[in-house]
Structure 1
């Protein structure tokens, strides 16, 4: 059974690494999280903090 040349292993590693990175990026950026409508209209108010030492 003939063995593969080292340049063959290197090219396979590079090709599979590029495919893995592209696949991971496509999975990460393909889904846009939906923000609930109630949070967009909600105003954040801060209560005054009265510290009693």
Structure 2
């Protein structure tokens, strides 16, 4: 995550390799195509931790 971007919230996103679908990192350390299940973080430290778990 970029520290120089003023965002209130960030979420972890990726694309599935076999079909290119957008997937979101979930609070249970999984992935979902449903935005409603995404883990939302509000600090850079939390964003780094979320990405490190991915």
Superposition TM-score, scaled by structure 1 size? 0.18
Q: Which has the higher contact order (CA 8 A, sep 6+)?
A: 2
Larger strand proportion of the pair: 2
Larger helix proportion of the pair: 1
Superposition TM-score, scaled by structure 2 size? 0.17
